[in-house]
C-alpha cells in the first residue's frame, strides 16, 4: 500500500464508476451503497496519508513513476507534497460527503453516481499528477462528468449553464495546452515532468516565461474564477444540484489556484514575480471586493453563496501574490478552509431548497423558529464564512492579510475592509431568511434530518478545530511552501541575472 496508495485513491472511484454502471437500473439502495462504498477507502487512505506524511521535507512523497508514452517522454508520475496533500484530503472528504448528500437524486441515478465517481477520480488525479501531460489529461477528463452532472441533473437553465461551463474551461485548457507544449519544447531534453521543468527554470528567458505564464494563467484563472472570467460560476452554481455545487466550489475552484502554485510558481519564477504584483494581487483584491459587492445584490440564496466564493477565492490569490511565508501559507490554508466552509453553505442551501423548492432570499423569513437546528448549523457556517475569530476562515484570512501588509499595505487595507462587506451580506441574509416574522407558508417545514446533519458534522468539526488550532494543516503545508517561496525568489534572481548577462 505505501507506494501505491495514491494510485489506489485515483483509480478506486473509477472502478466504482464501472461497477455502478453494471448494477441493475432499479436497485436504488444498492447503487447508493456501492457508490458510497467506493468513496470510503480513499477517505481512509487519506487519513493514513495524513498520518504518514513527512512534515519536515518539501520533497514529493508517495511517488509512483512509470513510463506511459515513451516517444513523448510522458510518464505516469504521481506524488504529493504539502500543497497537494491538503487538496487530496479535501477531495477525499468532500467526495464522500457529497455522495451521501446525493442520496436524494432520483433521475437516472445510476448514471449520476457513475459520473460522480468519474469526477472524483479525475479530481484526485489532478492533485496527484506530477507530469504535466497527466495533469492535463485529468484536468480535461474532469470537464465531462461535470458537464453532464450540471446539464442533466441541473435546474431549468441547465443547458446554458452546462455549455457555458464547458466552453469557458475548454478555452482555458486549450491555451494551457499550447503553453504546456511550449514548455515541453523549451526544456532540453524535452520533458513533461513538472519537477524536471521546475529544476531547469533558471534557463528560461524572461520573455518566454511571461508568455507561457499568461497562457497557463488564463487557464487557471477561469477555474478560480478570477475576474473577468468568473461569469460562468454563478450560472453553473445556480443550476447545479446541491452536491455538485459543493464539489464545484469546494474542489474545482481550488484547482485554479493549485495549478498556479504547482506550475506557474516553480516553473516560471521570474514571470511570477513580475505578474504577482501587476496581475495576481490586483485581481485578488478586485475579486474580494467585487465578489462581495455582487453577493450583496443577489436575491437568490445560491447565487449569493456563489459570489461569496468568488470573493473568498480572492483571498487565496491575494495571499499567493504577497510572496511572504504568512501570505502563501494563509492562501493554501484558505483554499482548504474555503473548501469546507463553502461546502457547508451549499449543503445548507440544498436543505432549504429541497423543502421549499425555491431559493428566493426574500421569500422566507423567521425560519429560526420553524427549523431551529437548521438555523443553528447555518449560523455556524455563516459566521465561519464571515471570518469570525475562533472559526477556521478567520485564521487563513488574517494570515493572508498579514502577509499582504508587509508588501502591499494599501491594497491590504482595501481587502481587509471587504470583510465588512462580507459581514454585511451574510448578516443581512441571515436576517431576511431566519429572523423576523415567520412566513406562513413554511410553518410546517421539517427540520434538518439525520442524513443532512451527518454530512455537515465532519465539516463543522473541521471548521471549529482549525479555527482554534490550525497547526494540523499549517504543519502539513509549511515546509513545501517555504521551499516554494525560496524557489520563486531565488530562481527569479538567477533568471534575471542570466537574462542580464545575455545583454552584451
Partner 1 sequence: MIEVVFGGAELRAVTPLLVVVVTAMISLLYEVFNEDHSDPARPVWLSLVGIVGGIVATVALWENGHSAFHGTFALDGVSAFTNVVCLLAAGLSLLMAPGYLTSIGVRAREFYPLVLLAASGMMVMGGARDLIVLFLGIEIMSIAAYVLAGIHRTDVKSGEAALKYFLLGAFATGFLLYGIAILYGATGSTGYDAIAAALPKASKLLVLGGVALLIVALGFKVSAVPFHFWAPDVYQGAPTSVTALMAVGIKAAAVVGFARLFIVALAPLHQDWAMVVWWLAVLTMTVGNVTAVAQNNVKRMLAYSSIAHAGYLLAAIVAGTPRGGGAVLFYLLAYTFMNVGAFAVVISLGRKGEANEQFDDYAGLASRQPLIAAAMVLFMLSLTGIPPLVGFVGKLYLIEAIVQAGYIWLAVIMVLNSAISAYYYLRLIFEMYMRDPAGPASAMEPAPLLIACLLLATVGTIFFGIFPDAPLDFARNSFLALR
Residue 79 near residue 501, CB atoms below 8 Å: no
**Choice between 50 and 160, CB closer to partner 1:** 160
Q: How far apart are CA 316 and CA 501, in angstroms?
A: 35
Residues 436-495 binding partner 1 (CB under 8 A) are none
Q: Using CB under 8 A, pick the residue from 106, 185, 437, 440 that binds partner 1.
A: 185
Q: Using CB under 8 A, pick the residue from 166, 232, 346, 377 that binds partner 1.
A: 166
**Choice between 169 and 396, CB closer to partner 1:** 169
Non-local (6+) Cβ contacts of 466 within 8 A are: 333, 336, 337, 340, 392, 395, 472, 473
Residue of 393, 383, 305, 209 whose CA lies nearest to 200: 209
Least Å from the CB of residue 14 to partner 1: 12
Residue 98 near residue 344, CB atoms below 8 Å: no
Should residue 19 be labelled a site residue for partner 1 when binding is judged by CB under 8 A?
no
Which of these ranges, 165-173, 293-301, 412-420, 456-464, lies near partner 1 under the rule CB under 8 A?
A: 165-173
Should residue 18 be labelled a site residue for partner 1 when binding is judged by CB under 8 A?
no
**Choice between 182 and 464, CB closer to partner 1:** 182
Should residue 23 be labelled a site residue for partner 1 when binding is judged by CB under 8 A?
no
Residue 90 near residue 336, CB atoms below 8 Å: yes
Least Å from the CB of residue 211 to partner 1: 8
Residue 11 near residue 38, CB atoms below 8 Å: no
**In this structure, how many other beta carbons lie within 10 angstroms of the beta carbon of residue 492?**
23
Binding residues for partner 1, rule CB under 8 A, total 30
**Choice between 171 and 423, CB closer to partner 1:** 171
**Choice between 132 and 364, CB closer to partner 1:** 132
* Residues 151/155/157/161 CA torsion (nearest 10 deg): -50
Residue 324 near residue 407, CB atoms below 8 Å: yes
Q: Using CB under 8 A, pick the residue from 38, 77, 127, 184 that binds partner 1.
A: 184
Should residue 383 be labelled a site residue for partner 1 when binding is judged by CB under 8 A?
no
What 8-state DSSP symbol labels residue 23? S
The verdict on whether omega for the bond into residue 189 sits within 30 degrees of 0, i.e. cis, is: yes
Q: Cα–Cα distances in Å, from 391 out to 260, 341, 385, 388, 429?
A: 27, 10, 9, 6, 19
Residue 194 near residue 263, CB atoms below 8 Å: yes
Q: Using CB under 8 A, pick the residue from 5, 23, 63, 170 that binds partner 1.
A: 170
Non-local (6+) Cβ contacts of 278 within 8 A are: none
Q: Using CB under 8 A, pick the residue from 30, 69, 379, 443 that binds partner 1.
A: 69
Residue of 282, 215, 220 whose CA lies nearest to 253: 220
Instruction: Give the three cell numbers for residue 183.
Output: 514548455
**Choice between 60 and 134, CB closer to partner 1:** 134
Residues 100-159 binding partner 1 (CB under 8 A) are 136-137, 140-141, 143-144, 147-148, 151-152, 158-159
Which of these ranges, 39-47, 175-183, 295-303, 400-408, lies near partner 1 under the rule CB under 8 A?
A: 175-183
**Choice between 182 and 465, CB closer to partner 1:** 182
Should residue 182 be labelled a site residue for partner 1 when binding is judged by CB under 8 A?
yes
Binding site for partner 1 (CB under 8 A): 69-72, 136-137, 140-141, 143-144, 147-148, 151-152, 158-159, 162-163, 166-167, 170-171, 174-175, 177-178, 181-182, 184-185
Amino acid at each position: 500500500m505505501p507506494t501505491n496508495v495514491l494510485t489506489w485513491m485515483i483509480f478506486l472511484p473509477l472502478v466504482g464508476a464501472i461497477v455502478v454502471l453494471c448494477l441493475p437500473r432499479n436497485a436504488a439502495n444498492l447503487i447508493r451503497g456501492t457508490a458510497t462504498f467506493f468513496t470510503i477507502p480513499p477517505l481512509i487512505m487519506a487519513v493514513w496519508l495524513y498520518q504518514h506524511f513527512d512534515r519536515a521535507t518539501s520533497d514529493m512523497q508517495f511517488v509512483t513513476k512509470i513510463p506511459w508514452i515513451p516517444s513523448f517522454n510522458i510518464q505516469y508520475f504521481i506524488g504529493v507534497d504539502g500543497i497537494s496533500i491538503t487538496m487530496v484530503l479535501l477531495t477525499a472528504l468532500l467526495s464522500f460527503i457529497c455522495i451521501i448528500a446525493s442520496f436524494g437524486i432520483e433521475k437516472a441515478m445510476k448514471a449520476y453516481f457513475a459520473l460522480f465517481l468519474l469526477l472524483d477520480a479525475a479530481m484526485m488525479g489532478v492533485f496527484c499528477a506530477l507530469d504535466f501531460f497527466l495533469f492535463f489529461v485529468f484536468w480535461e477528463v474532469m470537464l465531462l462528468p461535470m458537464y453532464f452532472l450540471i446539464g442533466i441533473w441541473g435546474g431549468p437553465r441547465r443547458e446554458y449553464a452546462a455549455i457555458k461551463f464547458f466552453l469557458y474551461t475548454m478555452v482555458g485548457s486549450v491555451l494551457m495546452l499550447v503553453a504546456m507544449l511550449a514548455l515541453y519544447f523549451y526544456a532540453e531534453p524535452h520533458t513533461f515532468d513538472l519537477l524536471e521543468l521546475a529544476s531547469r527554470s533558471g534557463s528560461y528567458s524572461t520573455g518566454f516565461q511571461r508568455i507561457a505564464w499568461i497562457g497557463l494563467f488564463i487557464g487557471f484563472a477561469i477555474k478560480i474564477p478570477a475576474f473577468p472570467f468568473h461569469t460562468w460560476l454563478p450560472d453553473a452554481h445556480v443550476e447545479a444540484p446541491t452536491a455538485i455545487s459543493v464539489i464545484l466550489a469546494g474542489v474545482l475552484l481550488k484547482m485554479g489556484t493549485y495549478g498556479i502554485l504547482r506550475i506557474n510558481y516553480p516553473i516560471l519564477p521570474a514571470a511570477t514575480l513580475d505578474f504577482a504584483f501587476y496581475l495576481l494581487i490586483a485581481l485578488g483584491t478586485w475579486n474580494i471586493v467585487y465578489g462581495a459587492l455582487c453577493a450583496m445584490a443577489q436575491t437568490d440564496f445560491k447565487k449569493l453563496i456563489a459570489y461569496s466564493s468568488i470573493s473568498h477565492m480572492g483571498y487565496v490569490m491575494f495571499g499567493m501574490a504577497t510572496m511572504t511565508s504568512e501570505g502563501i501559507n494563509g492562501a493554501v490554508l484558505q483554499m482548504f478552509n474555503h473548501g469546507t466552509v463553502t461546502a457547508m453553505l451549499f449543503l445548507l442551501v440544498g436543505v432549504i431548497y429541497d423543502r421549499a423548492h425555491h431559493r428566493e432570499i426574500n421569500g422566507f423569513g423567521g425560519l429560526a423558529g420553524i427549523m431551529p437546528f437548521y438555523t443553528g448549523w447555518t449560523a455556524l457556517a455563516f459566521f465561519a464564512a464571515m471570518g469570525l475569530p475562533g472559526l477556521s476562515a478567520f485564521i487563513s484570512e488574517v494570515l493572508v492579510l498579514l502577509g499582504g501588509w508587509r508588501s502591499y499595505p494599501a491594497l491590504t487595507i482595501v481587502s481587509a475592509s471587504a470583510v465588512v462587506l462580507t459581514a454585511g451580506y451574510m448578516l443581512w441574509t441571515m436576517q431576511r431568511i431566519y429572523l423576523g416574522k415567520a412566513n406562513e407558508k413554511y410553518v410546517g417545514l421539517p427540520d434538518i434530518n439525520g442524513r443532512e446533519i451527518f454530512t455537515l458534522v465532519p465539516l463543522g468539526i473541521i471548521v471549529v478545530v482549525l479555527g482554534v488550532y490550525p497547526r494540523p494543516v499549517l504543519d502539513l503545508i509549511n515546509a513545501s511552501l517555504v521551499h516554494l517561496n525560496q524557489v520563486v525568489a531565488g530562481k527569479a534572481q538567477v533568471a534575471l541575472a542570466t537574462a542580464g548577462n545575455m545583454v552584451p
